[in-house]
Amino acid sequence: MQNTPSIPRTIYNDEHLLFFKTVADFAAKEITPNNEQWEKDHMVSRESWQKLGENGFLCMQVDEQYGGLGIKDFRYNAIFTEVLALTGCAGPAVGYPLHSDIVCPYIDHYGSEATKQKYLPKMVSGEYIAAIAMTEPGAGSDLQGMRTTAVDKGDHYLVNGSKTFITNGYLCDIAGLPKEPTAKIARHQPVVMDANAEGFSKGKPFHKAGLHAQDTCELFFDNVKVPKENLLGSEGHGFTYLMTELAQKAAA
Ligand SMILES: Cc1cc2nc3c(=O)[nH]c(=O)nc-3n(C[C@H](O)[C@H](O)[C@H](O)COP(=O)(O)OP(=O)(O)OC[C@H]3O[C@@H](n4cnc5c(N)ncnc54)[C@H](O)[C@@H]3O)c2cc1C
Cα-based torsion angle of the residue sequence 153, 154, 156, 158 in order, rounded to the nearest 10 degrees: 10
- The total number of structural domains that make up the chain: 2
Check residue 187 and give its pLDDT.
54
> pLDDT tens, 20-65?
999 999 999 999 999 999 999 999 999 999 999 999 999 999 999 9
Q: Where are the beta strands (DSSP E) in the chain?
A: 130-132, 149-152, 156-166, 174-179, 189-194, 200-202, 217-227
Q: Which of 125, 158, 186 is the last residue in one of the domains? A: 125
Question: Which domain range does residue 168 map to?
Answer: 130-244
| Domain membership flag for residue 251 | no
Is residue 245 predicted with pLDDT exceeding 70? yes
118 and 188 share a domain? no
- Residue of 132, 135, 136, 218 to mutate, ligand 1, most atoms within 8 A of C-beta: 135
User: How far is the centre of ligand 1, averaged over its atoms, from the C-alpha of 206 (Å)?
Assistant: 16
| Domain membership flag for residue 9 | no
CA angle 191, 116, 140 (to 5 degrees): 30
Check residue 188 and give its pLDDT.
64
Is residue 19 predicted with pLDDT exceeding 90? yes
| Domain membership flag for residue 5 | no
- Residue of 103, 144, 146, 165 to mutate, ligand 1, most atoms within 8 A of C-beta: 165
3-state secondary structure of 56: coil
Q: Is 159 within 8 Å of 193 (Cβ atoms)?
A: yes
The domain that holds 73 is classified in CATH as: 1.10.540.10
| Domain membership flag for residue 249 | no
User: How far is the centre of ligand 1, averaged over its atoms, from the C-alpha of 235 (Å)?
Assistant: 26
> For atom 45 of ligand 1, which residue has the closest CA?
141
Q: For residue 43, count other CB atoms closer than 10 A to its CB.
A: 23
108 and 165 share a domain? no
157 and 88 share a domain? no
Whole-angstrom Cα distance, residue 221 to residue 209?
27
The verdict on the CB of residue 211 being under 6 Å from ligand 1 is: yes
Q: Which of 56, 91, 125 is the last residue in one of the domains? A: 125
Check residue 183 and give its pLDDT.
46
43 and 26 share a domain? yes
Query: Is this prediction's pTM over 0.85?
Result: yes
